[in-house]
Amino acid sequence: MNDFAPPSDAPATVPDSSPRFPVSEKPLRPAARPPGTAAGGEKTARTDATVQETASRTETQSGPESAPPEALRPLDLRPAAPKRRFTKRRVFGALFAIGAAYGIAALTIPAVVPATVDGVRAILGPKAIAAVEDAVYGWKDRWETYRHGEDKPTEYWTPPPEGAGGAGTPGNTGGGAPVPTPSASASASAVPSYFPPPSFAAPYPKVAAAQDGTWYPVADDVAVTTANPPEKPVFAKALVHPDPKRPFSVVAVLALDALRVRVDAVAGTSEPESETVKRAQRPGKVPPADYTRMIAAFNGGWQAVHGHFGMMADGVEILPPKDASCTFVMFKDGTFAIGTWSKLAARRAEMKSFRQTPRCLAEEGQASARLADAATGWGVSVDGETVIRRSAIGLDKEKKVLFYGVGDSQSAKSIAEALTAAGAVDIAMLDVNQAFPRFLFYSHDGGPTDPPHAKSSLIPAEYKPTEYVERSWYRDFFYVTRR
């Protein structure tokens, strides 16, 4: 029986003898067999590994377009790695841990804080670190207020006994008794009539110490070794308690005779950061030519990341000035000015150095209106209301007396009030935080041209004897020489 015969009831057809397609005379090739089967359809003994090797070789030779079907690829049966999710809880937990560690360090070992903060700031950014600092210092202030809010006023030094003589160690009070306010008839050999400034009333008697507002002379060895008789002091210091709620909030104010000293600015080896002045051009220390007359040094301004405030040192611009920033100017003739840059820019050709800060705390005798707003920030650093160690520089109305102020537990408002009480009418904020604000007094233990060494500090601070002179410093600073 023919298996392909049509059924008997199918209609008869006449076969078409004309070919529909051209017929090749060549024999047809057998159809390609699927891999892994024999001619009769039986499976071969080829292993999965052989199939995989063949598929891999084919993909390598022909490219990804001719890759073998998914069915021929081996399955990856390994469990998928769990995905990490940065939830809010994780983020806040990390920030809390950073804040706690920072707080413990700030209270116990403040010297390690700057390097730690700079490292974390590079990861989280300056605003995040500023927020952590505000929180940590807030906790610290509440604790200090709880512990010492009813204590006696804090004092950085004890007045010397009446009648104590001698010039004393540089930085210590010399002469014993408070400096009397000079009269207008004072002779040329006496203390200048403008220096020291007049004694002043304590702004808040309830938290004031007995010595608040009284100026004490400060010795320097250049005055003793280079003149006979010794020259009159160019430094005088006083205490101020400018916060009515905190008896532990105290500012040490140092008055400098602006007509008998010079102040010069030095850029640190890395701060403020500059794209134009490289490391080789900024040694970060006092030039040897000024060793003989050097008597003091003190901190400069803020890191560049906190506002990019301008700086020029000895005619070399480190960062360009900003119009609205407060500026401490050292002119080529040895005089000084403090004010908003837009008011001083016309005299740029006369300037030897300048350093900018956030907006002026006071200008021409008027306190900044921003001091009344607790929410006002002073650059991208700690907020102006944060209570920390701060420093500032001021100038009297006649521009004959410079004032440097430094103190613990200060807000922007309180340190401005302290310098205002002392006699400053123009005030600029300098560096802040525990590790940086400091005023160091130097002496010359070796020969007249040997490097001077730091001997004491205006208030307790960490420093090395070779600081700023033989040892480079990475932050900008100022140094003081006798004229």
DSSP bridge partners of 238 = 253
pLDDT band at 130 (very low <50, low <70, confident <90, very high): low
pLDDT band at 80 (very low <50, low <70, confident <90, very high): low
pLDDT band at 96 (very low <50, low <70, confident <90, very high): low
Q: What's residue 396's pLDDT?
A: 98
pLDDT band at 118 (very low <50, low <70, confident <90, very high): low
Q: Rounded mean pLDDT of 264-291?
A: 94
Least confidently predicted of 10-19, 67-76, 127-136: 10-19
pLDDT band at 227 (very low <50, low <70, confident <90, very high): low
Q: Rounded mean pLDDT of 399-411?
A: 96
pLDDT band at 85 (very low <50, low <70, confident <90, very high): low
Out of 45-49, 81-85, 137-141, the most confident range is 137-141
What are phi and psi for residue 307, nearest 5 degrees?
A: 150, -10
Q: Rounded mean pLDDT of 360-386?
A: 75
What is each CA distance from 308 to 222, 279, 348, 474, in whole angstroms?
36, 18, 19, 16
What is each CA distance from 49 to 5, 42, 55, 70, 102, in whole angstroms?
47, 19, 10, 15, 58
In sequence order, what are the residues at sequence separation of 6 or more whose Cβ sits closer than 8 angstroms to the Cβ of residue 200? Answer: 213, 238, 421, 422, 423
| 286-290 contact pairs (CB < 8 A, 24+) | 286/468, 286/469, 286/479, 288/449, 288/451, 290/264, 290/479, 290/481
First to last CA, the chain: 133
Q: What's residue 289's pLDDT?
A: 95
Query: How many degrees, rounded to 5, is the angle at CA 350 between CA 345 and CA 355?
Result: 60
Q: What's residue 204's pLDDT?
A: 97
Residue 2 pLDDT exceeds 80 = no
In the block, which residue shows the tokens 């809390």?
96
C-alpha span between 374 and 391 (Å, rounded): 19
Residue 109 pLDDT exceeds 70 = no
Q: Rounded mean pLDDT of 25-36?
A: 52
Q: Is 157 left (phi over 0), alpha (psi -120 to 50) or beta?
A: beta
pLDDT, one tens digit per residue, over 31-78 is: 555 555 554 445 544 445 554 555 455 444 444 455 555 555 566 666
Nearest alpha carbon to residue 305 among 94, 120, 105, 439: 120
pTM: 0.72
Q: What's residue 150's pLDDT?
A: 81
Under a CB-based contact definition with an 8 Å cutoff, are residues 357 and 371 in contact? no
Q: What's residue 473's pLDDT?
A: 95
> Which is more confidently placed, 203 or 434?
203
pLDDT band at 188 (very low <50, low <70, confident <90, very high): very low
Q: What's residue 380's pLDDT?
A: 44
Least confidently predicted of 5-14, 428-437, 444-453: 5-14
Q: Rounded mean pLDDT of 270-281?
A: 92
> Which is more confidently placed, 353 or 62?
353
DSSP bridge partners of 482 = 261
Question: What is the average pLDDT value for the chain, to the nearest integer?
Answer: 79
The share of the chain scoring above pLDDT 90, in percent, equals: 51
Q: What's residue 129's pLDDT?
A: 60
Q: Rounded mean pLDDT of 335-359?
A: 97
CA atoms 131, 133, 136, 140: torsion sign: negative
Q: Rounded mean pLDDT of 96-103?
A: 57
What are phi and psi for residue 298, nearest 5 degrees?
A: -150, 165
> Which is more confidently placed, 154 or 117?
154
The share of the chain scoring above pLDDT 70, in percent, equals: 61
Q: What's residue 21's pLDDT?
A: 46
pLDDT, one tens digit per residue, over 143-186 is: 787 777 788 999 999 987 665 544 456 776 554 456 655 544 44
How are strands ordered across the β-sheet holding 439-443?
261-266, 477-482, 294-299, 439-443, 453-457
| Burial group, residue 124, by CB count within 10 angstroms (0-12, 13-18, 19+) | middle
Q: What's residue 113's pLDDT?
A: 54
Least confidently predicted of 56-60, 212-216, 311-315: 56-60
Q: What's residue 192's pLDDT?
A: 77
How are strands ordered across the β-sheet holding 336-340?
316-319, 311-313, 351-357, 326-331, 336-340
Q: Rounded mean pLDDT of 378-398?
A: 79
Nearest alpha carbon to residue 246 among 35, 7, 414, 133: 414
Q: Rounded mean pLDDT of 441-451?
A: 87
Under a CB-based contact definition with an 8 Å cutoff, are residues 450 and 444 in contact? yes
What are phi and psi for residue 279, nearest 5 degrees?
A: -55, -40
Least confidently predicted of 23-32, 222-231, 286-295, 395-404: 23-32
